[in-house]
Structure 1
């Protein structure tokens, strides 16, 4: 079918097409006038995905990258979810209307819950969409009354804020309760560890273990030093005991003994002189010998006294050595006992320190979660409040008429073509050529009454077909 044939068909059957167009427009007009008017109200909320939680601080990082789109999609699902819708029902007290209860009974015959049925009906007229390339979520509600649409849209926004805050604080509240229990357990363990430490200190009589150990260690060092000195003196005295009396340093260095030795030498010289001069039996010689004997006896007495003092010093040194060895042994045992006490005390102290750190960690977490459970701020902000619309959003009369006119036009053209195909007519010479597959020799115009011959010059070819 050519365009010329198509236009001829439309010209021949334009009445059918026009009638269908008028019927479509009339139907659209009637439907638009009969349908109840719907009013659309819209509000918007801003979801801040960049700022961290001020309560959690550095522990909560901002939502960035690929996580932000999924986070926004989650928020859209929350707004359109049952929990927000049911909260809107409670906020607007829709379940307290007797007429609403009657309609619920008629629709469901008492199956389910009135709150769920109302929430489902609200969700059907709710449209939640995030703005393109932004963190704004538009909440649109379509109602039969302007005030109803605005109130429900605002209620959905407020319910979303409340639910968002609840979703944030409820886990923190649960964690806070759990951390409170852990804090009590940690505090009990800390008090038990401190009690064990105090009991051990009282039992061992420890006031300051480090100072006591340092004092006893210093005392042990002093005793060891004294023992070393006494052992040296005793060894020296022992070596002197085995030597000859006149070769001992104390004897050789004694001024008295040296003086007596000089006196003995002089007296011996005097005796020798008297013996030569007066003879051996002379009374003066005998007196000189008696004096010499007295000097030697005194010299021997002094030497013996020094040797006796060395022996006494040796014995006293040995006694002192044994005494110091016992004291050093006892002091060593005391220091070892104190070190053992200090080790045991350090164990108790480490238990206390470990319990203290655990208590501080749990207490800090408990404080933070408790603070989070008490917060009244979220990362969602209402940008505007929905207002009652002045004009209805549906039915849109002009749009419906344009759609009806367009659809009626297509339907009219289709009906005209179908009628033409059902009852085929010859509208032009082209129709004859297509139907008979023969060339046209002449055509008669119905408008002038004159006969006009036309066609190819070779008529024999046409007749021969």
Structure 2
């Protein structure tokens, strides 16, 4: 079948197609007119995805806006939100709804839950693109009721967000309040351990005492160095050379005695050469020499013993200072050990106090949050009573009925022709019968009279 033949078939059955199209369009119009009208009311809500805590002032950005907004839409369409609307509109006290519940549900289940489920069936929540804006739509047969319910769901959502935040903050507040008791006990235990240790070791000001004892140790170290030098010098002076210490030989009294002995020996030698041993002068000089030698030996012995005693005293002082320095070292090390232990205990006190202060601060914040009803939700547009019904749309339905009717009429004509083919042109004779067309006879039917208007042809 060619396009020309198809157009000829449609043209031939145009009356039937027009009748079918008119019937379908009229039917759609009548059905749309008979159907009960439904009114859709809309309220618009904006959600601040850059959420700032009203207490702490800190902001948190929701990275996945689409996922977050989907969650918010689910909250609006939740049973809890619907139950809030039921309570807000006092639907449980509506006798007509009670009677319908008794008829439909036979009194089984919860009347309140049944009302909430009924509200959700006519509720629709739509997100506008990728924006953080939600449109709440409610459809019913009463325009005023639709607006009332849409606004009630908006307010219920705001209340639900506030309640969720407050309940979460209250749970956190209770948690931190329970933790504070244990943290306070830890602080008290750490403080008591530090106090007991300081009392046991007699620590008042560890740092100051360590500084004093360290300075004392430094002084002792200097004294030990001086004592070591003095002891070395004393030992050097007391060290004997040929049985006699050099300092003894260099002593002025010893030198004077030596000079006197030398003089007497010179005189004694002179007398000894001139006189014999029995000469009185010889005997006198010999006695004087013996006395001088005795004095020299006594003086050398006395002065040498003094040097040895001085060296011994220097060594004793050195030993005493070394022992005192070692004792002071142990004392300083013990004090430093005590200070380290006290520092550890003080650090434990600081950590425990810091944990307690942090928990106390969080408790104060969560307590404020649990009493704050601020949310990140703003109602941009309250639903107003719609003037025109959203369903059925008579004009749109009628237009669609006309289009559907035209296509249905054309389809009917074409299908009828397919099952019962008729001859409309000379080409159809050749296609259907298979014989050539010899001649074409024009129709002899009288031409229809046309309306003539003067001045026009």
Q: Scaled by the length of structure 2, what TM-score is found?
A: 0.78
What's the Cα RMSD here?
3.9
Q: Deviations over 1:86-122 (max 9, x none)?
A: 2222222222323322222222123332232222222
Match of 2:453 in 1: none
Q: 1:382-393 alignment to 2 at 5 Å?
A: 382-393=379-390
Q: Give ranges in structure 1 of 5+ residues lacking alignment.
A: 450-465
Match of 2:127 in 1: 130
Match of 1:250 in 2: 247
Match of 1:6 in 2: 10
CA–CA separation in structure 2 for the residues paired with 1:322 and 1:448: 160
Contact persistence 1:245–1:251 (CA under 8 A):
no
Query: Which of 168, 175, 195 is 1:171 aligned to?
Result: 168
CA–CA separation in structure 1 for the residues paired with 2:43 and 2:210: 77
Helix, strand or coil for the counterpart of 1:393?
coil
Contact persistence 1:170–1:373 (CA under 8 A):
yes
Contact persistence 1:56–1:372 (CA under 8 A):
no
Cα shift at 1:171: 3.4
Q: Which segment drifts farther, 347-356 or 128-137?
A: 347-356
Alpha carbons of structure 1 residues 407 and 326: separation in structure 2 relative to 1, 3 Å: closer
Q: Deviations over 1:158-178 (max 9, x none)?
A: 222222334444434433433
Asked if 1:445 corresponds to 2:443, the answer is yes
Match of 1:63 in 2: 62
Match of 1:38 in 2: 38
Contact persistence 1:38–1:145 (CA under 8 A):
yes
Q: 1:176-195 alignment to 2 at 5 Å?
A: 176-195=173-192
Asked if 1:201 corresponds to 2:206, the answer is no
Helix, strand or coil for the counterpart of 2:200?
helix
CA–CA separation in structure 1 for the residues paired with 2:208 and 2:414: 116
CA–CA separation in structure 1 for the residues paired with 2:388 and 2:125: 21
CA–CA separation in structure 1 for the residues paired with 2:236 and 2:396: 134
Alpha carbons of structure 1 residues 301 and 2: separation in structure 2 relative to 1, 3 Å: closer
Cα shift at 1:250: 3.2
Q: 1:86-97 alignment to 2 at 5 Å?
A: 86-97=83-94
Q: 1:396-415 alignment to 2 at 5 Å?
A: 396-411=393-408
Helix, strand or coil for the counterpart of 1:388?
coil
Q: Which segment drifts farther, 186-195 or 438-447?
A: 438-447
Asked if 1:49 corresponds to 2:46, the answer is no
Q: 1:241-320 alignment to 2 at 5 Å?
A: 243=240, 247-270=244-267, 291-320=288-317
Cα shift at 1:59: 7.3
Cα shift at 1:386: 1.6
Alpha carbons of structure 1 residues 270 and 24: separation in structure 2 relative to 1, 3 Å: same
Q: Deviations over 1:131-155 (max 9, x none)?
A: 2353322222223333222221112
Query: Which of 104, 113, 132 is 1:116 aligned to?
Result: 113
Contact persistence 1:245–1:303 (CA under 8 A):
no
Cα shift at 1:203: 0.8
Q: Deviations over 1:271-304 (max 9, x none)?
A: 5566678886666665555555554444333323
Cα shift at 1:199: 0.8
Match of 2:455 in 1: none
Q: Deviations over 1:204-234 (max 9, x none)?
A: 1112333333433443444455455545545
CA–CA separation in structure 2 for the residues paired with 1:242 and 1:402: 138
Helix, strand or coil for the counterpart of 2:13?
helix
CA–CA separation in structure 1 for the residues paired with 2:6 and 2:231: 145
CA–CA separation in structure 2 for the residues paired with 1:228 and 1:412: 128
Q: Deviations over 1:35-62 (max 9, x none)?
A: 33332221212223356657666673x2
Q: Deviations over 1:393-437 (max 9, x none)?
A: 333333343344444445555566777788887777677666655
Contact persistence 2:10–2:410 (CA under 8 A):
no
Helix, strand or coil for the counterpart of 1:310?
helix
CA–CA separation in structure 2 for the residues paired with 1:126 and 1:446: 69
Q: Scaled by the length of structure 1, what TM-score is found?
A: 0.77
